[in-house]
Amino acid sequence: MNLAAPLVARKDLPGPYAVLEFRHPPVAAEARAGQFVMLKAEAALAPLLRRPFSIMTVDREAGTFSVFLKTVGPGSRALAQLTVGEMAACLGPLGRPFSPPPAGREPLLIAGGFGIAPFHLFSEELRAQGQKPRVFYGGRTAADLVLGEPFDALGVPLTPATDDGSLGAKGLVTGAVEAYLEETHRPAAFYACGPHPMLRAVARLAQERGCPAQVSLDPWMGCGMGTCLGCVVRIQRPGEASPAWRCACTEGPVFDSREVVWEARP
Partner 1 sequence: MNLGVEIGAGLRLKNPLLVASGTFGYGVESAAFVDLASLGGIVTKGLYLTPRGGNEVPRIVETPSGLLNAIGLQGVGVHAFVRELLPRLSAHDTAILVNVCGDSVDEYAEVARVLGAVPGVAGLEINISCPNVKKGGLAFGSDPGMTHQVVRAVREATRLPVIPKLSPNVTDITVFARACEEAGADALSCVNTVLALSVDVERRRPKLAFGTGGLSGPAIRPLAVRLAWQAARAVKIPVIGIGGIASAEDALEFLIVGCRAFQVGTANFADPGVHGKILAGLEDYLHRHRFTDINQVVGSLEYPGLPGRQQPP
Q: Interface residues with ligand FES (CB under 6 A)? A: 221-224, 226-231, 247, 249
Tell me whether residue 81 or residue 227 sits nearer to a second copy (CB atom).
81
Using CB under 6 A, pick the residue from 41, 69, 161, 206 that binds ligand FAD: 69
Alpha-carbon separation of residue 48 from 54, 55, 92, 225 (angstroms): 20, 22, 18, 16
48 counts as binding partner 1 under rule CB under 8 A: yes
Contacts 24+ apart (CB under 8 A), 201-204: 201/172, 201/174, 202/110, 202/174, 202/177, 202/257, 203/257, 203/258, 203/260, 203/262
Using CB under 8 A, pick the residue from 16, 26, 74, 171 that binds a second copy: 74
Indicate which of ligand FAD, ligand FES, a second copy, none lies near residue 46 (CB less than 5 to 8 Å, by partner kind): a second copy
Using CB under 8 A, pick the residue from 223, 235, 254, 260 that binds partner 1: 223
Tally the C-alpha atoms within 13 A of residue 150's C-alpha that lie toward its C-beta.
21
220 counts as binding ligand FAD under rule CB under 6 A: yes
Tell me whether residue 88 or residue 108 sits nearer to ligand FES (CB atom).
88
Indicate which of ligand FAD, ligand FES, a second copy, none lies near residue 168 (CB less than 5 to 8 Å, by partner kind): none
